[in-house]
Amino acid sequence: MFYISEIQHTAPPVFKTALQEKVYQTLKQADVAFERVDTDEAITMEDCVDIGHKLKTPIVKTLFLCNRQETNFYLVVTTADKPFKTKDFSSALNISRVSFASPALLQEILGVTVGAATVFGVMLDTTNKVRVVIDKDVLAEEWYGCSDGTTTGYMKVSRDWIMHDFLPRANHTPEFVQL
């Protein structure tokens, strides 16, 4: 059985990654309320569906893509239930075909491992290499459910705070598309 802790409202007592620590510092400094759970390692969206039920909000699907030359990067946020096709994404942005970035680039640029991609990773993108692209369907939810930068910590925060406060503070302007 997949482990999901009870809901908590405080940061973890020990941080597993530098990004995870930065996430909770940012929430504390901005005085943003959140709910979080600890879990077994969650890699698939099926795992995230159970986590979303516990948090009473869907967990978004967050993908890290790049062009063939590995010079253009995209953090894509969509709904968990939506199939993702790079061809459709490329068409929506009118760009050349993209593919999933390597685990090494994911770690280097966003500070996470496979399965832990999160919008919070843009805090580590200080040179603004990454374009944040958000599926308009994500905006239908009041809450934003995502990883805290690990594959064992998930949270929900205000969607409006992510879109209108966090991303601008992280110097990233989201692009909204219909995927």
78-126, pLDDT tens digit by residue? Answer: 999 899 999 999 999 999 999 999 999 999 999 999 999 999 999 999 9
- pLDDT given for residue 47 in this prediction: 87
- pLDDT given for residue 11 in this prediction: 97
- pLDDT given for residue 64 in this prediction: 97
- pLDDT given for residue 44 in this prediction: 82
Q: Which two tokens stand for residue 45?
A: 């969206």
- pLDDT given for residue 75 in this prediction: 98
- pLDDT given for residue 46 in this prediction: 84
3-class DSSP assignment, residue 145: strand
- pLDDT given for residue 178 in this prediction: 93
Q: Which two tokens stand for residue 146?
A: 């995502």
pLDDT in tens, 112-163: 999 999 999 999 999 999 999 999 999 999 999 999 999 999 999 999 999 9
- Length of the chain measured in residues: 179
Torsional sign, CA 93, 85, 143, 161: negative
How far CA 85 is from CA of 73, 158, 179, in Å, comes to 16, 28, 9
Contact, 43 vs 113, CB < 8 A? no
pLDDT in tens, 6-54: 999 999 999 999 999 999 999 999 999 999 999 999 978 888 999 999 9
Residue 1 has pLDDT above 90, yes or no: no
